[in-house]
Amino acid sequence: IPVTTQGSQQTQPPQKHYGITSPISLAAPKETDCVLTQKLIETLKPFGVFEEEEELQRRILILGKLNNLVKEWIREISESKNLPQSVIENVGGKIFTFGSYRLGVHTKGADIDALCVAPRHVDRSDFFTSFYDKLKLQEEVKDLRAVEEAFVPVIKLCFDGIEIDILFARLALQTIPEDLDLRDDSLLKNLDIRCIRSLNGCRVTDEILHLVPNIDNFRLTLRAIKLWAKRHNIYSNILGFLGGVSWAMLVARTCQLYPNAIASTLVHKFFLVFSKWEWPNPVLLKQPEECNLNLPVWDPRVNPSDRYHLMPIITPAYPQQNSTYNVSVSTRMVMVEEFKQGLAITDEILLSKAEWSKLFEAPNFFQKYKYLVEMPWYVVGLVESKIRILVGSLEKNEFITLAHVNPQSFPAPKENPDKEEFRTMWVIGLVFKKTENSENLSVDLTYDIQSFTDTVYRQAINSKMFEVDMKIAAMHVKRKQLHQLLPNHVLQKKKKHSTEGVKLTALNDSSLDLSMDSDNSMSVPSPTSATKTSPLNSSGSSQGNSPAPAVTAASVTNIQATEVSVPQVNSSESSGGTSSESIPQTATQPAISPPPKPTVSRVVSSTRNAATSGNAATKIPTPIVGVKRTSSPHKEESPKKTKTEEKTSSTDLSDIPALPANPIPVIKNSIKLRLNR
């Protein structure tokens, strides 16, 4: 891996200007920076972020075979449509790559994102029929499947051991030249919207590479930042953190601000810039351009919904979009605190007080949070894409400061050891607000969790993915119970990850008590009923079973905690940083403050019926008076869908009946936390 220095550029004519503002520093790297960069490379190697040359050549060979298949297929289509022979000989066709492989930062065993570009006489239907059949005949191709109805239609396959996702775009050209530059905005004229979406990945990736001063320095820095983000559980676009393209744009912006710096300096400056960034000011790599193609672009001055985005990072290619529309108050808070921690650690590294390995130490999620909600379920992809709705709902609870989903999922304990089950478990850490003049506080999470499970069940029914055995459950777990639910290596004792501004006092686990009952007509056991895998102390009482087959009720779960102090998070608090450089914000976009939380209060009942069927009579406990929420009980807010989001269904869930005619086993769990101070 080359360590690129650019000290000689200072004696040359003024270098090219990158970005929408002037650079912060044009300083050339010093000898110590080069030494630190080499140490960074050596630290990264054991994590598998660099692929061997042999594997790189194998990928190039596979892409070459795929490119030849595309050219051959397009010639066959051209002949079948009786095109002139002169056109057939030069018709072209090409495979482009995008994503981490195109950026040059893919890791060992990573998949390849590819785009098949065809001339105007080749239809999308041809791609999903004749080209699919052609791929099926290749002996190197395994696990071939087409997802034609996706938001961005794709063919997925494994070619000689390498997983590849192939998108399709038909351009309004008679032939596809070898030197085609997809960054040309005129290529988007008269294109189908699905082709525009498919082209977007390549156009964004190519723009990023053209907007950084030094590609080698950018790549090494991005490898380090991506590894750091994954190790610190903040790498997941679908869960409301940042995905690969968003991290790439943040690193690219850092490179623009320090054009002559090398990787060791850029990693430190990355944390400096974004720990002090004044969100929701957007991160832009170039001034947005209007191409008069009437495509929707991110612009809070025009689109009111764009003003609600909390951490906008705008793609540089037209049509410009916000790549972080899933970010919530909690996920932004978690990421900003991690930026501050990263700055403190890199300060120590530059002062030779720490090694690079400290930056990549994985904090123990289960040591970081005292309150954990564990959720096992079956339909992983369907539910994972909805978790951010649950986080958003929890954030509206007036007693919750932060809800942090661990992006790492775990296999859930089986309810029936003799039956083959596929169950996945996710864990959410909660931080509660400090309350004054309240000795006995009740926090009821029943509505938040039940509205989430309702959404997932309706989505499963609508997308015809529902099966009788599918279910979702939620329960509060104590630290001492985690070893019964999680793999041993996850719970190994590690140094506590102290988060600046998120300090939790010690909690005596033995003072917690848990009660959870679920009521369902088909006797589907809840996770807590399997005492072999999760023996929990029961202190609550069941509310009685309803004889009606489709009636679902939930009883109250009380968690008693004596003398618990939950300090308030101070998001404005910043950690170390030896530099006092001012960070240039975007001048062309006004700072958009997030809207205030609704002030409508309501009394939360300790139970809620999912549905009723027939002449069912359900016993409802007395509501808990005095527990209020600052959210509307009738709305579920989900982030705005943008053009780049993969879509699973286009039907409005509000129009779908709560349950089908046949009874469905629905586990409804009521979770209530009581904090005695």
Active site residues: 100, 111, 113, 165, 226, 235
CA distance 33 to 40: 10
Residues contacting residue 303 through CB under 8 Å, at least 6 positions apart: 296
CA dihedral 134, 139, 144, 146 (to 10 degrees): 0
DSSP class per residue in 121-141: TS-HHHIIIIIHHHHHT-TTE
Which of 188, 179, 192, 193 has its CA nearest to residue 122? Answer: 192
Q: Residue 184 is encoded by which pair of tokens? A: 């040309």
Phi-psi region of 453 (alpha: psi -120 to 50; beta: other; left: phi over 0): alpha
- Angle, helices 263-275 vs 31-44, to 10°: value is 90
CA distance 273 to 287: 19
Q: Which residues contribute to the annotated binding site for ATP? A: 98-100, 107, 111-113, 165, 226, 235, 244-245
Distances (CA, A) of 149 to 113, 124, 649: 18, 12, 9
Q: What is the DSSP letter of 547?
A: S
- In sequence order, what are the beta bridge partners of 94? 117
Q: Residue 250 is encoded by which pair of tokens? A: 């943040």
Q: How far apart are the first and last CA of the chain?
A: 56
Query: 358-390 burial string, b = 16+ CB within 10 Å, else e?
Result: ebbeebbbbbbbbbbbbbbbbbeebbbbbbbbb
Q: Which residues contribute to the annotated binding site for Mg(2+)? A: 111, 113, 165
DSSP class per residue in 372-383: EEEEEES-HHHH
Query: 131-149 burial string, b = 16+ CB within 10 Å, else e?
Result: bbeebeeeeebeeeebeee
Q: Which residues contribute to the annotated binding site? A: 98-100, 107, 111-113, 165, 226, 235, 244-245
Residues contacting residue 346 through CB under 8 Å, at least 6 positions apart: 267, 268, 271, 359
CA distance 338 to 228: 10
List the 558-562 sheet strands across, edge first.
Answer: 440-444, 672-676, 558-562
CA distance 517 to 668: 8
DSSP class per residue in 317-329: SSSP-BTTTT--H
Query: 287-299 burial string, b = 16+ CB within 10 Å, else e?
Result: ebeeeeeebebbe
